Structure 1
Amino acid sequence: MQWSTLAATAVGTVLGVLATLLTDQARWRRDRSDRERDVLRTAFAEYLAALSTARDAFSRAEPSPERVGKGHVAIGEHGVYTAQQQLELVASQALTDAAAHATLAVLDFHDAVVAGHTPNSAEYVGAWRAARRTRMAVIAEMRMALRRA
């Protein structure tokens, strides 16, 4: 047997193994990126759903001055804190800060409603707009995070 045949076979085998390893690594990275994006997307959707559910429930709340300042209990009942904590595990600091601001804005909205402010009052409208504005800021951060992932 000739040495050139053996060398060509060995080089071909090494190149084949390297190509397979590189392909597998690229596939692994892509799969990991897809899984990370799915985890982010799930956490984002759960937080936004809980926040919206709480805000919508608060918009239908009856005035009750003794409940002013106790929105943290009501927002916890709608799963916002749980979803926010999940978000803190997987998201960037900028996103979790934006989510914290959105949660606080919904708490302020709760206080405006239970304080007896009507939907056409400046306090109600201001609190509603703040909740909407902070929610949109969270969504913008989420979109950036999904593009990076």
Structure 2
Amino acid sequence: MQWSTLVATAVGTVLGVLATLVADHVRWRRDRSERNRDTLRTAFTEYLTTLSTAKDAFSRAEPSPERVGKGHVAIGEHGVYAAQQQLELVAQRTLVDKAGRATLSVLDFHDAVVAGHTTNSQEYVNAWRAARHTRAALIEEMRKALQRG
């Protein structure tokens, strides 16, 4: 047997194995990236859903001055804190910070409603707009995170 045939076979085998390993690695990274994106998407959706549910419930709350400042209990009952903690596990710090601001803005909205401010009062409108604005900023950050993922 000639050395050149043996060397060519060995080189071909090594190149074939290397090509397979590289292709498997690329596929593994793509699959991992997709799983991470799905995890983020699920956490984002759950948080936004619970936050919206809480805000909607707060918009129907009856005035009750003794409940001003106690929205953290009500927001916890809607699962917002649990969803926010999930975000803390999977999302980047900037996104978690924006989620915290969104939660606080909904708490401020709660306080405006239970303080007795009606839908046409400036306090109610300001709190509602602030909640909407912080939610929009959060959603924009979420979209960026999903594109990066």
Q: Which residue of 2 aligns with 1:102?
A: 102
Q: Which residue of 2 aligns with 1:22?
A: 22
| Displacement over 6 Å in runs of 4+ | none
| Residue type of the alignment partner of 1:20 | T
Give how far 1:20 is off.
Answer: 0.2
Alpha-carbon distance in 2 for matches of 1:70, 1:64? 11
Q: Which residue of 2 aligns with 1:75?
A: 75
1:132 counterpart = 2:129: no
| Residue type of the alignment partner of 2:73 | V
Give how far 1:104 is off.
Answer: 0.3
Q: Which residue of 2 aligns with 1:33?
A: 33
Give the count of matched residue pairs.
Answer: 149
TM-score with structure 1 length normalisation? Answer: 0.99
Alpha-carbon distance in 1 for matches of 2:79, 2:88? 14
Q: Secondary structure at the match of 1:134?
A: helix
Give how far 1:19 is off.
Answer: 0.2
Deviations 1:20-45 (A, max 9, x none): 00000000000010010001001100
Alpha-carbon distance in 2 for matches of 1:78, 1:130? 20
Give how far 1:100 is off.
Answer: 0.5
1:87 counterpart = 2:80: no
Q: Which runs of 5+ in 2 are unaligned?
A: none
Q: Secondary structure at the match of 1:123?
A: helix
Q: Secondary structure at the match of 1:109?
A: helix
Deviations 1:20-76 (A, max 9, x none): 000000000000100100010011000000000000000001111111110000000
Q: Secondary structure at the match of 2:116?
A: coil
Alpha-carbon distance in 1 for matches of 2:20, 2:41? 31
Q: Which runs of 5+ in 1 are unaligned?
A: none
